[in-house]
């Protein structure tokens, strides 16, 4: 039996059933799992790209 799990975005606190979080970004930092919803993933990607850019220059 599969229990419907509700996951919470670690950035904005948005909650969604696990089935809807397949497109979320999951990263492991210091052994702790962090989940970011679609919107936060996008903004994170932007800031990550920004970081990469600044490292490149
Ligand atoms: Zn979020």
Query: How remote is the CA of residue 26 from the centroid of ligand 1, in Å?
Result: 12
Q: What are the residues whose beta carbon lies below 5 Å from ligand 1 (ion)?
A: 9, 11-12, 14, 37, 40
Question: In the 8-state DSSP scheme, what is residue 18?
Answer: G
48/42 Cα distance (integer angstroms): 10
Query: Mean pLDDT across the chain, nearest whole number?
Result: 84
Taking the domains of the chain in order of start, what are their residue ranges? Answer: 6-56
Query: How remote is the CA of residue 13 from the centroid of ligand 1, in Å?
Result: 6
pLDDT at 39: 93
The 3-state DSSP class for residue 57 equals coil
Element (H, E) at 48: helix 38-56
Instruction: Tell me the pLDDT band of 13, cut-offs 50, 70 and 90.
Output: very high
55/7 Cα distance (integer angstroms): 33
| Mean pLDDT, residues 20-46 taken together | 89
Q: Indicate if the pLDDT at residue 44 is higher than 60.
A: yes
Per-residue pLDDT tens over the stretch 22-33 = 999 988 888 998
């Amino acid at each position: 039996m599969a229990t419907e799990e509700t996951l919470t975005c670690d950035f904005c606190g948005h909650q969604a059933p696990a089935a809807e979080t397949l497109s979320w970004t999951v990263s492991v930092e210091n052994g702790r799992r962090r989940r970011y919803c679609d919107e936060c993933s996008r903004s994170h990607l932007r800031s990550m790209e920004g970081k990469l850019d600044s490292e490149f220059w």
